[in-house]
A and B are shown apart, each in its own frame.
Chain A
């Protein structure tokens, strides 16, 4: 009963010595075998501490062998010392390693000071600590064409060679003879340079053909090219959305879309990943107080580090019901999956049905570049004028345009089906082997195989081990993924043999197991 507690409160004496002082006395007495003093002092130790340190035989000190021959006194000294000595004193750590494993990039996002140059030093110190500890996964360079195997150098100048899941070339076009031939031909016909914005004289006849081919692939006639996929996403959003408009964006949509939304308006709502019902509720909410302004709903098709996709049929319908416009980024799925390479749109029977589609060529089409497509010639002209990254940026080079046009042709041909079949054989081999080894592959079978790690420390040390073990895999952490859900993003190519994929899975599992042992970590990777 609580009121009994009220009685006992008066029994504690305000002037009793604190437990730290008493324990020092006990320690001193224990070292001298003075069990009487230990017993006397133990009686003064608070209930709080006695009930907490239940491993100390507080009530039995009198019965201890004062000679210490049985080791019990020594055990008590050790246990009490452990309680009153800062624990880190007896387990020293490498400060570089601690610093490198501890921070994340966001800790440096708002540096202090008015000197813009000097205040980057703090971040640089962390980068250097991660480099010294070989846990910096960024800025590695290729020594040769990135095939299913690649040779690379890290930014400390160390080389390695491995099965390559670090390049995005889903249909292995980079080594395809017809693609290379297209590049050579364009080089011969037009030279390396486009020499202007597409609004001026940067485009060639090939650009027009490419726009037509892409329009046929997604079923939307009016296509605009951009110099990168990033520019396409950013340009589409800022081209259309104004200050008083609203953007509803999937929390995990690509950075170019998030940044575009932030640049366009303060009215940005990030909705729960893939949750169409949440979109509907937000739309109802916005429309209940704003019937005048536009709403752009933004999502990826295949999500680039989660390998899942939304129910676009419902999403598009919900948008129409509330006079909202849908923009879908098909950077990863177009060309690499779906019937005839039509990606998630084709898989959901939505060719020609989505308001606005954008994509990037950098994953499957073997080049820089991106596009925005819709059924509206007016929208096309508008985005060209007001999406700054189209108007005010040099056009794709003739070589790039020719490569993408050839890639689009192969993607839609029977050979494209064959390449996608090979790609998916490798994908299944990789996912099955990883899953069979107790690891967690996120999302659905697709060219992106996200292997969940979770904890950043584990991911960074596993990545360090992997470097020398013959697998190249990109470790993603904040800001690409939320804190605490880092992962390896494995990007599969049609050129990967299934046995190669299985071999890689074995190696990865070994590196994770060793890294877990190194950190002595007991955490698994179930999400909740």
Chain B
């Protein structure tokens, strides 16, 4: 009998197992994969994601093999904003969510999942969690309407049965636990992006680059093995046409969004792997908990990749749920109180506002005149540029940036005019052009 069985051993699961085991609980964590291995993700970690790793004592292991930076370039229709997530906003974020602000770091990184997830799984094992890989959960054991354990199959075909006081579903977007419990989806947002990416060697641009133009985006971020993660994305409506020629359209998208990046990749880059892709990114929420079970990570809520936040959110869930479960397992609170605390944080107003922000962003509509003008107004205003980046990354609440009195003041404080940007020359015609599917 375990205190907790965690199904899934990546960002959400291994972290939850690690934190519960460190509290001294008996934890079993299983995954159908073996490690090291990849999973679909462009694996960018914002500074709060890195801060979680630091809080858990794992950051050094990651940074030993992964390039990190603190300033990032966000370029929208040629309007460049360069900034970083401010430490005070990071601290505030951790205080608000977790009650303490220790271990905050300002750096970000792109960490291959085969690197990161392995570190997490090993840390969980070292903390005393029992880790079983190549182990697929195929059934939840339910008694009196309560989940009390799991049955599954190891790679060699052997069948297992284990029981625990709580089963944590950390098994991703296509969660088996959620399917077995027949859980509904809430707040579904079908509009999302298609994303295609791969790994190129041969150049080093320093900090990360995120560009948007029209309905397309691209990102180039240095990652492990002296490579760059190069990503293009666009509205899922265009995916069928994109798929007709994945390598050709990847380059075409790069050239369209950022001719400079397109050129670097074409002339200096060597692609090291096949191109990966998905458009299975519609957003949803699932019920968070029930008798004998609780969900974390993508299993509880998946969102589009366009703000690169899922892994960081999985870490956040792991800290929230392990704190909540810890209070229950030690008899400090009832399970209901403990789950209500978790739910309060996860289904809060701030969470709803950010969810809306991501889902709207994921529709990949061309930027409106208003939005581009705001980017121009932000140039030269470092404090507010940084706050904007922090808001985009879900460090600072959406409501604090997108507040009338703030937006009006940003206008008043603008240092630059929009005169120098081609997109404003004939905005209406440019917007119409942007609606055309580039790959049709």
Task: Check B25 for interface membership: any CB of A closer than 8 A.
Answer: no
Across the interface, A478 reaches (CB within 8 A) one of B97, B285, B355, B402, namely: B402
* Given A12-B274, A484-B399, A524-B348, also A52-B40 (CB < 8 A): yes
How long is the Cα–Cα vector from A479 to B409 in the complex, in angstroms? 13
Which residues of chain A are near B287, meaning CB under 8 Å? 522
Interface locus among A1-9, A310-318, A320-328: A1-9
How long is the Cα–Cα vector from A450 to B410 in the complex, in angstroms? 28
Which residues of chain B are near A8, meaning CB under 8 Å? 36-37, 114
* CB-based contact B349/A268 at 8 Å: no
Interface string of B370-408 (1 = CB under 8 A from A): 110110000000000000000000000111101111111
Task: Check A418 for interface membership: any CB of B closer than 8 A.
Answer: no
Task: Check A284 for interface membership: any CB of B closer than 8 A.
Answer: no
* CB-based contact A109/B187 at 8 Å: no
* Given A18-B277, A522-B287, A526-B345, also A2-B356 (CB < 8 A): no
How long is the Cα–Cα vector from A519 to B368 in the complex, in angstroms? 26
* CB-based contact A55/B174 at 8 Å: yes
Across the interface, B360 reaches (CB within 8 A) one of A20, A102, A113, namely: A102
* CB-based contact B186/A521 at 8 Å: yes
Across the interface, B347 reaches (CB within 8 A) one of A88, A251, A262, A523, namely: A523
Task: Check A53 for interface membership: any CB of B closer than 8 A.
Answer: yes
Which residues of chain B are near A109, meaning CB under 8 Å? 370, 407
* CB-based contact B186/A5 at 8 Å: no
Give the nearest-CB partner of B360 in chain A.
A102
Q: Count A-B contacts at CB 8 Å.
A: 240
Interface string of A247-286 (1 = CB under 8 A from B): 0010111010010001000101010000000000000000
How long is the Cα–Cα vector from A106 to B360 in the complex, in angstroms? 15
How long is the Cα–Cα vector from A249 to B428 in the complex, in angstroms? 38
* Given A2-B118, A88-B190, also A528-B97 (CB < 8 A): yes
Across the interface, A452 reaches (CB within 8 A) one of B174, B349, B355, namely: B349
Size bin of chain A's contact surface = 35 or more
* CB-based contact B368/A107 at 8 Å: yes
* Given A51-B39, A102-B360, also A12-B409 (CB < 8 A): no
How long is the Cα–Cα vector from A84 to B173 in the complex, in angstroms? 15
* CB-based contact A522/B347 at 8 Å: yes
How long is the Cα–Cα vector from A1 to B33 in the complex, in angstroms? 16
How long is the Cα–Cα vector from A251 to B406 in the complex, in angstroms? 8
* CB-based contact B370/A107 at 8 Å: yes
Task: Check A309 for interface membership: any CB of B closer than 8 A.
Answer: no
How long is the Cα–Cα vector from A46 to B113 in the complex, in angstroms? 14
B435 to chain A, nearest CB (A): 15
Across the interface, A5 reaches (CB within 8 A) one of B115, B276, B360, B373, namely: B115
* Given A86-B236, A107-B368, also A52-B399 (CB < 8 A): no
Interface residues of B in 182-234 (CB under 8 A from A): 184-188, 190-192, 196, 224-225
Task: Check A454 for interface membership: any CB of B closer than 8 A.
Answer: yes
Interface residues of A in 4-63 (CB under 8 A from B): 4-6, 8-9, 12-21, 46-49, 51-55
* CB-based contact B349/A91 at 8 Å: no
* Given A48-B40, A484-B398, also A54-B114 (CB < 8 A): no
Across the interface, B352 reaches (CB within 8 A) one of A16, A55, A484, namely: A484
Interface string of A473-500 (1 = CB under 8 A from B): 0000011101111000000000000000
Which residues of chain A are near B427, meaning CB under 8 Å? 112-113
Give the nearest-CB partner of B39 in chain A.
A51
How long is the Cα–Cα vector from A29 to B425 in the complex, in angstroms? 52
* CB-based contact A113/B274 at 8 Å: no
Task: Check B246 for interface membership: any CB of A closer than 8 A.
Answer: yes
* CB-based contact B188/A520 at 8 Å: yes
Which residues of chain A are near B144, meaning CB under 8 Å? none
Task: Check A191 for interface membership: any CB of B closer than 8 A.
Answer: no
Task: Check A348 for interface membership: any CB of B closer than 8 A.
Answer: no
Which residues of chain A are near B67, meaning CB under 8 Å? none
Interface residues of A in 89-138 (CB under 8 A from B): 90-91, 102, 106-113
How long is the Cα–Cα vector from A51 to B186 in the complex, in angstroms? 24
How long is the Cα–Cα vector from A523 to B189 in the complex, in angstroms? 14
A51 to chain B, nearest CB (A): 4
Which residues of chain A are near B273, meaning CB under 8 Å? 9, 12, 14
Task: Check A82 for interface membership: any CB of B closer than 8 A.
Answer: yes
* CB-based contact B285/A522 at 8 Å: yes
* CB-based contact B370/A522 at 8 Å: no
Give the nearest-CB partner of A454 in chain B.
B349
Interface string of B236-251 (1 = CB under 8 A from A): 1101100100100000
Give the nearest-CB partner of B271 in chain A.
A14
* CB-based contact B274/A54 at 8 Å: no
How long is the Cα–Cα vector from A479 to B399 in the complex, in angstroms? 11
B365 to chain A, nearest CB (A): 10
* CB-based contact A526/B172 at 8 Å: no
* CB-based contact A18/B276 at 8 Å: yes
A315 to chain B, nearest CB (A): 19
Give the nearest-CB partner of A83 in chain B.
B280
Which residues of chain A are near B371, meaning CB under 8 Å? 107
Task: Check A69 for interface membership: any CB of B closer than 8 A.
Answer: no
* Given A5-B114, A478-B402, A485-B399, also A266-B96 (CB < 8 A): no
Across the interface, B40 reaches (CB within 8 A) one of A1, A12, A49, namely: A49
Which residues of chain B are near A88, meaning CB under 8 Å? 190-191, 236-237, 282
| Residue of B171, B272, B347 with highest tally of chain A CB at under 10 A | B347
Interface residues of B in 78-119 (CB under 8 A from A): 96-97, 112, 114-115, 118-119
* CB-based contact A53/B407 at 8 Å: no
Task: Check A378 for interface membership: any CB of B closer than 8 A.
Answer: no
* CB-based contact A5/B399 at 8 Å: no
* Given A87-B236, A483-B402, A522-B186, also A51-B33 (CB < 8 A): yes
Across the interface, B239 reaches (CB within 8 A) one of A86, A90, A108, namely: A86
B226 to chain A, nearest CB (A): 10
Which residues of chain B are near A13, meaning CB under 8 Å? 274
How long is the Cα–Cα vector from A82 to B276 in the complex, in angstroms? 18
Task: Check B1 for interface membership: any CB of A closer than 8 A.
Answer: no
Which residues of chain A are near B424, meaning CB under 8 Å? 112
B376 to chain A, nearest CB (A): 10
How long is the Cα–Cα vector from A456 to B399 in the complex, in angstroms? 12
Task: Check A527 for interface membership: any CB of B closer than 8 A.
Answer: yes
Interface string of B338-373 (1 = CB under 8 A from A): 000001110111111111100010000000111101
Which residues of chain B are near A425, meaning CB under 8 Å? none
* CB-based contact A87/B186 at 8 Å: no
B204 to chain A, nearest CB (A): 18
Task: Check A455 for interface membership: any CB of B closer than 8 A.
Answer: yes
Task: Check A525 for interface membership: any CB of B closer than 8 A.
Answer: yes
* Given A14-B272, A51-B37, also A2-B187 (CB < 8 A): no
* CB-based contact A483/B191 at 8 Å: no
B288 to chain A, nearest CB (A): 8
* CB-based contact B114/A113 at 8 Å: no
* CB-based contact A111/B36 at 8 Å: no
How long is the Cα–Cα vector from A2 to B427 in the complex, in angstroms? 48
Known: A18-B276, A49-B276, A479-B404. 11 other contacts (CB 8 A): A3-B65, A5-B224, A8-B36, A53-B280, A249-B405, A251-B403, A262-B409, A480-B404, A485-B349, A522-B285, A523-B355
A-B contact pairs, 20 of them (CB 8 A): A1-B118, A3-B65, A5-B36, A9-B225, A12-B273, A48-B41, A52-B40, A52-B173, A84-B280, A86-B236, A87-B192, A110-B373, A113-B427, A113-B428, A455-B356, A482-B404, A483-B399, A522-B347, A523-B348, A528-B96
A interface residues, Cβ below 8 angstroms from B: 1-6, 8-9, 12-21, 46-49, 51-55, 82-84, 86-88, 90-91, 102, 106-113, 249, 251-253, 255, 258, 262, 266, 268, 270, 452, 454-457, 478-480, 482-485, 519-528
B interface residues, Cβ below 8 angstroms from A: 32-33, 36-41, 61, 64-65, 96-97, 112, 114-115, 118-119, 122, 171-174, 176, 179, 184-188, 190-192, 196, 224-225, 236-237, 239-240, 243, 246, 271-280, 282, 285-287, 343-345, 347-356, 360, 368-371, 373-374, 397-400, 402-409, 412-413, 424, 427-428
CB-CB nearest 3 A-B residue pairs: A484-B353, A479-B404, A483-B402
